Structure 1
Amino acid sequence: MDARAGAELTSDAGPPSTADALLRRECDRVYVADVEWRPGAVRSRRLLPWQFVVEARAYRVSETREEMTTTTIASNNEEQTTVACEKWVLPTRDFEGAWESLEFDDDGVKSRLLAYASTALIFSKSGVRQNVVAWNRVVLLHGPPGTGKTTLCKALAQMLSIKFSDVFDESFLIEVNAHSLFASVYSESPKQVHRVFKQIRELAENGNALVFVLIDEVESVAAARTSAMSANEPSDTIRVVNALLTQIDALKSKPNVIVLTTSNLTQAIDLAFVDRADIKCFIGPPGFNARYNILRSCVQELIDRRLLHGAAPVDLDDCTASNCPTSLALRTAVQATDGFSGRTLRKLPFLTYSSVGSGAQCSVQTFLRALTVQAKSELNDRLQLKRT
């Protein structure tokens, strides 16, 4: 088993070296980002020091984030500048902590995505012939809104930029604004797709740069052509899909590029695009365990920031009536959040804290009782919306 940590670990034995002193001065945090089990290994919750190997990575976060623009022809035949993409230099401070914050019922979803993307890069770097072993380096995450698909894509890119920092000199994430690919002038949209992906290919020309391309809500640009034709949609819609598929195929020649996409409406995506995705992963609403862990992390954050006082809820497996009443109170609150998305769950603590009065520090028990009330209120508000 390999435990991947976010920074190098140092020893207390002997006088600190220059490297140790630098690390102690510069290191912001040390965390376990992923656990990789060997096939057939017995998965124990606790391991002795000689039963695992630590693979550590030290990295600096970047603050660089910029817009990528293109020039299109407007309806008045004048040139206009469009913000087509956002570009982050990875690893970025914007995505710090995102990987650990994601909770899913399937504990292996993050590990599987990390293993898939790692394998795709290893195959590409090793020169495996794609006409013999086929892979496209395209990921499709699908599911209802608010389940963490976009965050997972960004966190995955962040993790891979750190993991492969000894292979690539630099890493970038390009988030394509799907709506910017549609121009106001007829026949201009396919050209816009070409312009955007030309910039991406130019960035990927540097083989020492790892490039991630994120297309959020891909159904808006990769709509099913059969539906468009049957509904007499403008031919530009069909041309955009054709252009997108062509550009994604062109990226196959770039071994340092991974395309990450998300969708809330998979039935609306063109089948040719779906077929190009190596991995199609469903990200659904969190179940009880995931909801418990999400809210528990929120409570812990408020305790760490001294906004709450009292005992923190413990791990769900360790929760009994005798050892942690706050954990039982949290379980009660979690039961009232059935069907909530991860996005909604992470808003609840803020709304709860504002309802109990944010002027003074609040006890954990009082907060958790209010959290249950707030969850029921949120559910009632949703029912009212459906009736109107």
Structure 2
Amino acid sequence: MTKWRVRDFHSTDLDGILHLWETVKANNVEPVYSLSEVLASCEKDHAVVAVQNDQVIGAAVGRAAHDQGWIVFLAILPEYRSRGIGTALLAAVESRMAPHGLTKLSALMPEAETRVGAFISRGFAMKQNLRYFERIIPVQRQELEPLSSLGGRVLARGLWENVSGMHREKELLERRLVLPLAKADLADEFGVVPPRAVVLFGPPGTGKTTFAKAISSRLEWPFVEVFPSRLAADPQGLAGALRETFLQIAELEHAVVFIDEVEEIASHRSGEPPSPLQGVTNELLKIIPAFREQPGRLLICATNFIRTLDSAFLRHGRFDYVIPIGLPDHQAREAMWQRFIPASVVNDVDVDLLVRRTDGFTPADIEYAARSASQRALEKAVYGNGSGPGEREPGKGPSTQDYLDAIDDTRTTVSEQVHEQFLEDIGALGRV
């Protein structure tokens, strides 16, 4: 019988690796690393195979990072075990990783795995009382370059929790958007088709951009903001640049795509001859159906003037939901003030009075008033009334009166007329 031998992995060995993987699974052993990870390491990291008569009968795959090495995969066909093949494979893959200057080589094995002899014979020590934790990172390495070229980024975790108040809007977005996208398999069981495109509308400064970023953070999907004003400078024109941008987005596994002030490129089409922007609107109307066919993506368009959008743009089949984002209610305003007032003085400030006095304020208005009050208090503490040092105790923050003065001097973003129109738009155009 021809003796087995160990050699470097070749790309033609992929079928053999796949067969080994299926053999491991058939024995009710769940590998720690996924098949895609093992195959990727075969191609990019370190892998050796044991062959006999050109048949792959075993394989060891390793990955090195700095001075730490990991055994990603070790498998031998059942009929070839107890022949020292596992020990030889481990020795070979370790020698391939040696130039990295490893100080530690580790392996994670499924609890059901009983073939530990190869590791023991190679000097591995079995560690007791250890727990294995893992978290899947949605953005893969190969996506980083196209994501960067699009100006996209992975937002920090926790933005969703940082949205102060707005509980009604958050609950609606959580149920309609996040739930079916984050739990796509469960949604499929219930016959729910995950949303692909939504419109957020409301007065300026109500937090539409903040919500779009928070949704991206909540899903842990890359955030790509499309700026029509920047695309307009492209040599191929705005419509062509828009088409090319969405072709690049199609290369990403997941993405939240955000277009703010979408009315700039999707307003009512009218006039003879057609305006140049009508071609852009037509292009966008063609892009959206193609975008909807790709899973793992969500298009969020935001507008302050939903009445100006082309009727075809909001049609069923293009956007799943048209969601209003309005002025913060009492509870939301209270949460915002609690967030902006320094912790050292919050118990001394009449927060409830500030909440009542800022009815009709947007989140941006409240933030401006809070920042203005803090700045004024700082200046008074340092300079007093302009004639000398202030009379406040060092380190003392703004008072209730500082906040009330700032509120009185804040010009609100949303007029009563605009708010009334927004309420009308909810009934006429909202779709939740």
Residues 1:295 and 2:337 aligned together: yes
**For residues 127 and 336 of structure 1, what CA distance do their matches in structure 2 show?**
43
Q: Which residue matches 2:225?
A: 175
| 2:176 alignment partner AA | Y
Match runs of 1:188-207 below 5 Å: 188-203=237-252
The change in CA–CA distance for 1:128 and 1:382 in structure 2 (over 3 A counts) is: closer
Q: Which residue matches 2:66?
A: none
1:50-108 alpha-carbon deviations (Å, 9 max, x no partner) = xxxxxxx797999x899866xxxxxxxxxxxxxxx42012xx23xx5432232455x23
Are the equivalent residues in 2 in contact too, given 1:102–1:148 (CA < 8 A)?
A: no
Measured after TM superposition, the shift of residue 374 of structure 1 is 1.1
Using structure 2 for the length normalisation, give the TM-score. 0.54
The count of aligned residue pairs is 269
The change in CA–CA distance for 1:250 and 1:145 in structure 2 (over 3 A counts) is: same
Are the equivalent residues in 2 in contact too, given 1:140–1:280 (CA < 8 A)?
A: yes
Q: Which residue matches 1:114?
A: 174
Residues 1:86 and 2:151 aligned together: yes
1:192-221 alpha-carbon deviations (Å, 9 max, x no partner) = 221111111122xxxxx2211111111111
- Indicate which of 212, 215, 219 corresponds to 2:256: 212
| 1:213 alignment partner AA | V
Measured after TM superposition, the shift of residue 127 of structure 1 is 9.9
1:135-189 alpha-carbon deviations (Å, 9 max, x no partner) = 751111100111100110110111012xxxxxxxxx321111122343587x833
Q: Which structure 2 segments of 5+ residues have no match?
A: 1-127, 383-393, 416-432
Larger Rg: 2
SS in structure 2 at match of 1:375? helix
Using structure 1 for the length normalisation, give the TM-score. 0.59
**For residues 121 and 381 of structure 1, what CA distance do their matches in structure 2 show?**
33
Match runs of 1:279-358 below 5 Å: 279-299=321-341, 302-303=342-343, 309-310=344-345, 312-313=346-347, 326=348, 329-357=350-378
Measured after TM superposition, the shift of residue 279 of structure 1 is 1.1
Larger RCO (CA under 8 A, 6+ residues apart):
1
**For residues 327 and 272 of structure 2, what CA distance do their matches in structure 1 show?**
32
SS in structure 1 at match of 2:312? helix
**For residues 379 and 122 of structure 1, what CA distance do their matches in structure 2 show?**
40
Are the equivalent residues in 1 in contact too, given 2:180–2:187 (CA < 8 A)?
A: no
**RMSD (Å) for aligned C-alpha atoms:** 3.8
Q: Which residue matches 1:248?
A: 288
1:9-60 alpha-carbon deviations (Å, 9 max, x no partner) = xxxxxxx96559x99xxxxxxxxxxxxxxxxxxxxxxxxxxxxxxxxx7979
Are the equivalent residues in 2 in contact too, given 1:142–1:263 (CA < 8 A)?
A: yes
Are the equivalent residues in 2 in contact too, given 1:147–1:285 (CA < 8 A)?
A: yes
**For residues 246 and 17 of structure 1, what CA distance do their matches in structure 2 show?**
57
Measured after TM superposition, the shift of residue 120 of structure 1 is 4.2
Are the equivalent residues in 2 in contact too, given 1:212–1:258 (CA < 8 A)?
A: yes
